[in-house]
Amino acid sequence: MSLVADWTVDYGDGPRPCTVPHAWRQDVDVRWEGPAVYETEVEVVEPGQWLQFDGVSYHARVFLNGSLALEHRGIWDAFAVPLPTGQTKVRVEVTKNGGASFPVKNVLSGFLPYVFNTFGGIFREVRITGAPPPALPARGDGIETSPDLAAQPSARSKERAPNSRMSVEGTKLFIDGRPWYMRGVLSWGWYPDIGSPHPPIEVVRDEVRKIRALGFNLVKFCLWLPPHHYFQVLEEEDMWAWVELPLWMPSEEMDLELAFAEVERIVWQYRHHDRIVCWTCGCELSESTPHEFRKRLFEMVSELTGCPLVKDNSGGSEMYGGDLREYGTFYDFHPYCDTMFYPPVLESLQIGPRKKMPVLLGEFNDYDVYRPLGPLRKDTPYWASSDPALNDQGVRWQHDLPGVLADKTKVLADDIEEHLRNLSQVKSGWIRLYVTRLVAAVDDIAGYVVTGLSDTPISMSGALSAQCLENIFTDTTYFLNPYRMPPWINGGNRPGWHDPHNHFCGVASPSLGCRSVGGLETTLNVSYGLKPRVRIKREVTVPPNLPGELFKISHEWKTRYDLLSIVDESLQPSSHFSLSFFEPLDWRLYPQWHVSDPHGILGGQRRGGNLEVSTAWTGTLQGGIVFLTDHGTEPVPFWRECVTWNRAGEDLFDSWDFLFPVSTDRVIDPVWLDSELPGAEWLLTRVDTRTYQRHPYVARKGNVVVTTLRPWGGLGAQPPNFESNPAGHELMRILMRLVEDPTP
């Protein structure tokens, strides 16, 4: 086997030397579909040799000595043509997808065009080999053919079929017979310095080692196929793979039979990698494919791979709509939740009376950190350029950066941008740890895939660039069990929780739980309390891969802040849980305040002095606090895709644990604010980390404060009302102080 690397490429202005693998990049307008013409010469001494192309995007017409030998459509599968002996001139005309000839949604483009754009070229190796790739013999008449065994699927499936190292028992996963829990990270194949999803092996090795160091044990190739050497590196690093075939958002014009044949060729060529422990036939297909087609895909992939984890549709119709007839050996959901809604959403995804199969969260737990604009303005990369020849919008629904970089109102000082980036990094770590602990507590869930691996033009959720993700994705996860607190409302109970991190002063009983993949028999050193600090030892036994409660700690807390620390003598590092304790708000201590609460969300009306707490804006308030719930607000997530910028002082709103039970799903409309309170100071600001738009959560003018924060909670797993929300009582005191002392 020998590589063919010396080529020329012609974009219509004459040939120029190039080395294959090659993808045209800024050489030509990104909107140009081709064809680009590649040429080389090869010499074959022995008969029976083949010219194999490991990957061409998208349409290739291969000429040998001027005669058309083969046409091939498809990005992700290899193909080959037989070579004559002697000197042969090779010409390959390449047309990429994304143009008028092969629109993105008509072919198996994967997700990359939605990250940046399509790519074209002979982007993987070309080699002379003694045999074609699996299942891909071809005739020299310009027609690509399937194997002669196509009519004998049972015989075909046994050829080179791997022995899967994955096994399943009920909802639990095992690899090589040992308990295993999936901790994956999502890759879209974005390599901006390479220009195609074909990273060389040294790049892969560095990437995989970083992934493993973060605690992940699997890479999910989301809607793309990596080079085969990626699996070699996974083997070296004892890592695993989830292959998601590149079917996403197909148009009605897609030829499903051609797509099926292309998927089948891909599976034939990748199925021998025993590092692949999971396959999905597509992603979030919703109503875009008929259930019969998905069933055929599922059956074909199952038959050819023998893998016990195969699903027709990652994401699932129950979550994304469409025909509820689904096919697979596991449940696959993509919960992208604002953080306070994760507990009830995860509860809604549990199996219940359905067939007992593993639940995998095929994508989830993303968070976009702040991307500083200053460096991009000084040295704009092609993927942020406003020049459509370099960075056309294409099929992307999100194309914010060019406009943001040109918008002078988005300019912030370098030190503020650095501050926002640091804030968002800390927030990212808090969210991802919080959610990972929630997931570990759910028995049905057998693993997850975190979005995502790398920062891209459309997101900044890359784990590789994050700074606060250490010690989150581990074999053993300790967590606090939430308190169940269903309130009595209008003659009956409603769903309700008590936040395990925020308490009223007095006796509290945190409940410690654990999930350990391989099981544990260990000694825990537990410490809590500040004056003096209480230290205890507990012997615990944890069964493999089963979440459970270890013990409760009952203690009368008199300090405001505390840290519950768990040191496992058999593991490092330790686990920590912040605890806060607040006095209940006693309105008798605030005679200058009265409460106008017609809807009862703060416990009802209260008489008092001239300062007012109100749950409705009337425009006549002379001094006090107004909680905005609808009018004058806009709906946005509090936790996802944003950083919360505290400008009221470092001692206010500075704890994510504190903000969780009072966080909101609305911001103040700046237009409304300028109309009703012109010149108001923004004290707590939401900065969108994708669009860079800024909105206030808390604003003040003189002795009037308006906010969308919710001291009564009530969203998701927040406490269900003001009476049961210790952080809400403290928030009320903070806001009252801002009114009573309105100096900046």
CA–CA separation, 92 and 310 (whole Å): 36
Q: Return the number of other C-beta atoms located less than 10 Å from residue 18's C-beta.
A: 21
Q: What is the pLDDT of residue 133?
A: 78
What is the per-residue pLDDT for 633?
97
Q: What percent of the chain lies above the pLDDT cut of 70?
A: 95
In this predicted structure, what is the pLDDT of residue 286? 78
Whether the pTM exceeds 0.85: the reply is: yes
480-582 CATH fold: Immunoglobulin-like (2.60.40)
* 620 vs 307, more confident: 307
Q: Cα–Cα distance between 328 and 542 in angstroms, integer?
A: 31
Please tell me what DSSP assigns to residue 541: E
Give the least confident one: 137-141, 257-261, 410-414, 536-540.
137-141
pLDDT at 147 over 60: no
- Which range, of 105-109, 157-161, 289-293, 461-465, averages the lowest pLDDT? 157-161
169-372+436-474 CATH fold:
TIM Barrel (3.20.20)
Assess whether pLDDT exceeds 90 at residue 568.
Answer: no
Q: Does domain 2-145 have CATH number 2.60.120.260?
A: yes
CA angle, 95 then 98 then 101, to 5°: 55
Q: What is the pLDDT of residues 470-505, one digit of tens each?
A: 999 999 999 999 888 898 888 999 989 888 999 999
Position 121 pLDDT exceeds 60? yes
Q: What is the pLDDT of residues 350-401, one digit of tens each?
A: 999 999 999 999 999 999 999 999 999 999 999 999 999 999 999 999 899 9
pLDDT at 191: 97
User: Across 221-235, 550-564, 640-654, which has the greatest mean pLDDT?
Assistant: 221-235
- Per-residue pLDDT band for 49 (boundaries 50, 70, 90) equals very high
pLDDT value of position 666:
98
Rounded distance between C-alpha atoms, residue 364 and residue 450, angstroms: 5
For the segment 509-538, what is each residue's pLDDT rounded down to a tens digit? 999 999 999 999 999 999 998 778 899 999
Average pLDDT over the chain, rounded to an integer: 92
Domain boundaries, the chain: 2-145, 169-372+436-474, 480-582, 587-740
Instruction: Decide: 640 and 336 in contact? Cβ < 8 Å.
Output: yes
Region 221-239 average pLDDT: 98
Amino acid at 383: W
CA 586 to chain centre: 43
Cα 220 from Cα 185, distance rounded (Å) = 6
Distance CA 136, CA 152 (A): 15
Residue 654's pLDDT is: 66
Residue 131's pLDDT is what? 84
User: Taking Cα atoms as reference points, which of 711, 712, 708, 713 lies closest to residue 667?
Assistant: 708
pLDDT above 50: residue 139: no
- In this structure, of 104-108, 342-346, 528-532, 590-594, the range with the lowest mean pLDDT score is 528-532
